Amino acid sequence: MNHLVAPSILASDFGNLQRDIEMLNRSEADWIHVDVMDGMFVPNISFGFPVMEAVKKHATKPLDVHLMIVDPDRYIKEFAEKGAYSITVHFEACPHLHRTIQGIKEAGCHAGVALNPHTPVAFLDDIIQDLDLVLIMSVNPGFGGQKFIPNTYKKLHDLKALSALRNPNLYIEVDGGVGEQNVKQLIDAGANVFVAGNSVFSAVDQLQAIKNLKNPF
C-alpha cells in the first residue's frame, strides 16, 4: 500500500479554517485528520460537531475522525451523519470495544482503534480481524506539537507482524510528532498512514511540507 498523509486540522488556524481546508484540498494530502477532545479522556478540549460540520462543508477529502473522548458510543452515529469516513476510538476508553467497533461499521464508517503509548499492541489480538485501522499514538494524546516517543518503532513492528498474519489490509496510522525527519523510518517500521499537525501547519510552505511527507525518499 502506498502510504497516506493525513494533516491534522488541530494545528490549523481556526480563524481561517476554510482557507486552511482549501489548502489541504489542493495539496497531496489523502485524508484530513479531525481530533476531537473532551477534557475528560484527555486534559484538553478541542472542538465538536459545529467545527466538524464546517470542515465537512469545505473538505473534498475523507475525514479521519480521532475521538479522544470517554464513552464514544454516545456520538458515533452523529459523527457518521456529519460525514466521517473513518472513526477511531481509544482502546483505553472502551470497555466493550467489540460492540463499539460494530457500531462504527453499522454507521457506515471505517473502524479504528487508537492505542496510547503505554498500551501494548498485543491487547488487540482478539479484535484485529474486525478493524480497518489501528492508530498508534506516538505522543500522549491531548496536544499537538509534542515530542515523538521512540518506543513507537517497536510497537509499529509488533503491529505490522500481527497485521501480516491476521489482517493484511489494515491501515497502520501513526499520530504525534511526525514530520519529514522521521517519516521514512516510520514507513520502514510498518506505518502506512501519517498524521501530521505542526510539521505541516507551522511550515512556511505548507503544500511543500505535505509533498515532502508524501515523497520522503
| 175 flagged as catalytic | yes
Q: In what order do the strands lie in the sheet with 4-7?
A: 4-7, 193-196, 171-175, 133-137, 110-115, 84-90, 63-68, 32-37
**Count of C-beta atoms within a 10 Å radius of residue 45:** 13
3-class DSSP state of 15:
helix
The listed partner (Zn ion, ligand DX5, none) that binds 176, CB under 5 to 8 Å by sort, is: ligand DX5
* Distance set, CA 19 to CA 22, 27, 28, 199 (Å): 5, 12, 16, 18
> Which residue lies nearest ligand DX5, judged by its C-beta?
197
What's 27's DSSP letter?
S
* Integer Cα distance of 11 and 53 in angstroms: 18
The listed partner (ligand DX5, Zn ion, none) that binds 197, CB under 5 to 8 Å by sort, is ligand DX5
Q: How far is the CB of 173 from Zn ion (least distance, A)?
A: 9
In which residue are the cell numbers 482502546 written?
91
Counting contacts by CB under 6 A, is residue 110 touching ligand DX5? no
Judged by CB under 5 A, the stretch of 45-53, 65-73, 79-87, 203-211 that binds Zn ion is: 65-73
Q: Give, as ranges, the residues between 19 and 58 that touch ligand DX5 (CB under 6 A).
A: 33, 35
Selecting among 30, 64, 132, 175, the annotated active-site residue is 175
Which residue ranges make up the site for Zn ion (CB under 5 A)?
35, 66, 175
List of residues contacting ligand DX5 (CB under 6 A): 8, 10-11, 33, 35, 66, 139, 141-146, 175-178, 195-199
Q: Could you give the residue numbers annotated as active site?
A: 35, 175
